[in-house]
Structure 1
Amino acid sequence: MKMYHVSVTLWAVLFAMSGVHGGKVLVFPLDGSHWVNMKVIIEKLHSRGHDLTVMRASNSWYIKEESPYYTSITIPSEGGFDEKFFDSLVGRLLEIRREGSSFSRFLLELEIIYKFSDLHKDMTKILTKIFEDEAMMKSIQDAKYDVILADPAVGGGAILAYHFNIPLIFNVRWTVHGEGHFAIAPSPLSYVPVPGAELTDKMTFFQRVQNVLFYVFTLFQAAVIADPHYKAFCQKYFGPEVDYFSLFQDADIWLMRNDFTFEFPRPTMPNVVYMGGFQCKSSKPLPDNLEKFVLSSGEHGVIVMSLGTIIGQLPQDITEEIAAAFAQLPQKVIWRYTGPQPATLGNNTLLVDWMPQNDLLGHPKTKVFVAHGGTNGVQEAIYHGVPLLGLPLLFDQPDNLSRMRKRGAAKLVDAATLDKTVFLDALKEVLYNPSYRENMQRLSRLHRDQPMKPLDRAVFWIEYVMRHGGAPHLRTQSFRMSWMAYHSLDVMLTLLGAVFIISLLTFFLLRFLCCRLSFQKKIKRD
């Protein structure tokens, strides 16, 4: 019997190994929180025997040059993320929201647009350095990579994949043109809300007007932020016949970092693979000091607060109000915070520079997650079934949290106007109204009820592309069509023209026959 089990185990191991192809992967990531989830895929691919090379700027925040999981190609760069800008952005945004100045908000939005325009400008400078470096280009060519894994929020991966004719896979929710679905999938604005509009799939007439206006604004943003830089680069190196955005649309597989527990139902495409929550995993034991603190909460439990990788602190006056509210609760609080200690900090609150967020959210003592609404944090809250108190600040955060509010799993507070009372009342509602936890746990059950783990699904499709040298049979060719052809306007105009001509000929024929008949009758009378 023991020999039987050994034999079965050996065959299982051999079968698993037979499905692994030690491929070569070139990774073109984006720094910041995007790198956090790209690294999860890199580590998984490395564990399956693949050889990974990561292209990084010399001034990267999080993408390290040395790693046990990959080798790196470092490109000298003076651009990249401006950490000081993002540190000051939150305070300025909250001040403008307090003032209620639409003009100041408009000016800040323009500044953000031009800051991201600079990011793409710097990206084309990095690409220029790559293309002008003959030794680097030859090394990439000689490496014979099986696939490029890229973040389409910047254009480097798609451009390299086109130049070297390497299959392309995206780790995506955002592209240089906005949310990924809108780049390749039919997106009727009547029931597909544009991210940022904070709408649902059930819209009134005026909400549909708002949705259309938001969509037009995203087109304007793309025209200002990305188009000038990538179009100029592609024209210089590939010629005017190459449309840079078609290089994105030609990707083999889109690994979409959400699923339909988060996304509203909408049309999709066969090469879109949903892997929402792929970075989530079962919680591990906490470090001894944190475990001791969590267990000391007793029956009241723990509140976890984090504002993500970019935002370490809020303006001091808001911080004081939040700390004062926490101090009024019987729960213990673990707060990722990097600023000066608030004067109103209670004995129940522990400030930390870093926290094992996934492990804390998976702890049975955790009752509420106070978060800014980044995609990673929202997905982890869904996975572990922890309700949210949202403090949306920037970018996609308000929209992410509004989706959770629509599902009854989150309550939102405006950070610009909150005080101790408002924040405390909101916390108590999420803590003591069981519907928030019940709704989030229902989402968690839906999310977990899958035949395959999201990360395993992502790795399967990456290896699928390696095995088959791409997946062109899954790519739509709609983006190669003109706008008129895509909407069949040319067909409709032709058919209408044919109907018009036939109707006109019929009219003249009937008129001719009537006139002839009338003429004959007149002759007979004469």
Structure 2
Amino acid sequence: MQDIQIHSVRKLLMITATFLTLTVATNAKTVVFFPPPSTSYIVYHTNVAGELTSMGHDVWICVPHFLISKDLVKDKSVKVLEYGEYLGDLETKIFRNTKMASKFWDKDYAIEPVTFYYYAAEFTKAAHEILSDKSFLNTLRALKPDLFVIESIPFNVNMVVLPYMLDVPFALIGTFHDVALSRVPFSVVAPYFPDDKLSDKMSFVQRLQNFVFYIIQISFDLFYDSNLVTKFAPHKPYKSLNDLAATAEIFIAEVDHILDYPRSMLPNTKLIGGSSASPVKPLVGDFKKFVDQSKRGIIVVSFGGHVMSIPQTIASKLLSAFQQLDLDVVWRVNITSPDPSRIMTSKWIPQNDLLGHEKTKLFISHCGKNGQYEALYH
């Protein structure tokens, strides 16, 4: 219990210090978050936004129409600004067109860069539509924001055009520390881009590859389109998106040294890893009933919000394995459980609260950012 309290205080201090720095620098009062139109990003942006509302700021988060029904913004002190009915179910469309879920299960890692490129291309198309939405832009102008907080994951960098065209300062927040975007001088020690194939003990060839990719990233628009600046901010001096992103007031990274290699950072970069983790809330409904009746303890299984459908052969193997265990299972998946008394399946689970429950013995995951920190926290 003491360790949890210490971690909770540390997390709060880190986030508070980050935004104290941010608010002093920009005198921000009305803050607008713009996460990518994707479930997991909206969740962690909301966690950070909630800390900012507790400091007395008026905070809004932009949520696309197709995700409104999921009620992702659990902190009701954060106001929701709906947009983008024209996008359709962008998340599902992208995963269907890029076949990312099937490639995940097929271990088709060889074409990951190509897949990511097409993923980024879809978001670039969406950026054109969003920045052309006069109604959405007028709503933002009416809010008179003092600061935008934009997700810095490469396929969302297009959206830094939004604060630029509205003459509003902005901060960048991301799930990893983008050293190229924040203009950190290159270091041969740490891998530039999060990659399970590289470590801080790279070979000469790997270091060379790392350096070449860094140069390419700062020199070319691999995952975004600088033409958006010319099209939507013609009244402003032209800047490439790389140069524009570098003007952020502050860079906030959802990482922590405990889960990363040592990296060089500039003073305007703050690490807030673990913002998704929080003290446990009581389970309710079917989740409470299932966990309460478990006498042996439970396993929590989740491969992220995007991987809901699993190939039958893999699902059968997992179910067979779970049925042989001496533990009950709560599994986030879009299938019907063959044994509801021992294996609970659901399209959504209160992951943080389940991981913090005293009966949870094991977490099986794809190692997403939120899940990693929540598991460590509890």
Instruction: Summarize the alignment of residues 390-401 of structure 1 with structure 2, pairs less than 5 Å apart.
Output: none
- Residue-by-residue CA offset, 1:8-58 (whole Å, 9 max, x unaligned): xxxxxxxxxxx9999212232212211111122333333444223444544
The TM-score with structure 1 as length reference comes to 0.58
Instruction: Summarize the alignment of residues 388-427 of structure 1 with structure 2, pairs less than 5 Å apart.
Output: none
Q: Equivalents in 1 of 2:328, 2:72: separation in Å?
A: 35
2:347 corresponds to 1:349: no
Please name the residue that 1:359 is paired with.
353
Please name the residue that 1:316 is paired with.
312
- Select the residue among 126, 129, 141 that pairs with 1:125: 129
Please name the residue that 1:25 is paired with.
31
Residue type of the alignment partner of 1:37: Y
Q: Equivalents in 1 of 2:185, 2:231: separation in Å?
A: 28
- 2:180–2:218 CA contact under 8 A, matched in 1: no
Instruction: Summarize the alignment of residues 32-51 of structure 1 with structure 2, pairs less than 5 Å apart.
Output: 32=38, 33-51=40-58
Please name the residue that 2:179 is paired with.
181
Please name the residue that 1:238 is paired with.
236
Q: Equivalents in 2 of 1:47, 1:379: separation in Å?
A: 22
- Residue-by-residue CA offset, 1:226-259 (whole Å, 9 max, x unaligned): 13543553674535x4222211111111121011
Residue type of the alignment partner of 2:35: P
2:323 corresponds to 1:327: yes
2:310 corresponds to 1:306: no
2:202 corresponds to 1:203: yes
- 2:32–2:148 CA contact under 8 A, matched in 1: yes
Count of residue pairs the alignment pairs up:
347
Please name the residue that 2:224 is paired with.
226
SS of 2:36's partner is coil
Q: CA RMSD in A?
A: 3.5
- 1:29–1:150 CA contact under 8 A, matched in 2: yes
Residue type of the alignment partner of 2:263: R
Q: Equivalents in 2 of 1:159, 1:279: separation in Å?
A: 27
Extract unaligned runs of 5+ from structure 2.
1-19
Q: Equivalents in 1 of 2:67, 2:80: separation in Å?
A: 15
- 2:332–2:347 CA contact under 8 A, matched in 1: yes
Following TM superposition, by how much is the alpha carbon of 1:366 offset from its aligned partner in structure 2, in angstroms?
1.5
Instruction: Summarize the alignment of residues 136-175 of structure 1 with structure 2, pairs less than 5 Å apart.
Output: 136-137=137-138, 140-141=140-141, 143-153=143-153, 154-155=156-157, 157-173=159-175
Instruction: Summarize the alignment of residues 375-394 of structure 1 with structure 2, pairs less than 5 Å apart.
Output: 375-384=369-378
Percent identity of the aligned residues? 26
Q: Equivalents in 2 of 1:51, 1:30: separation in Å?
A: 21
Following TM superposition, by how much is the alpha carbon of 1:144 offset from its aligned partner in structure 2, in angstroms?
3.3
- 1:155–1:230 CA contact under 8 A, matched in 2: no
Extract unaligned runs of 5+ from structure 1.
1-18, 385-526
Residue type of the alignment partner of 1:46: T
* Cα gap change, 1:214 to 1:63, in 2 (>3 Å): farther
- 1:121–1:229 CA contact under 8 A, matched in 2: no
Q: Equivalents in 1 of 2:246, 2:28: separation in Å?
A: 27
Look at both structures and tell me which one has the larger radius of gyration over its CA atoms: 1
- Select the residue among 339, 364, 375 that pairs with 1:370: 364
* Cα gap change, 1:112 to 1:269, in 2 (>3 Å): closer
- 1:124–1:233 CA contact under 8 A, matched in 2: no
Q: Equivalents in 2 of 1:208, 1:22: separation in Å?
A: 41
- 2:124–2:158 CA contact under 8 A, matched in 1: no
Q: Equivalents in 1 of 2:93, 2:211: separation in Å?
A: 34
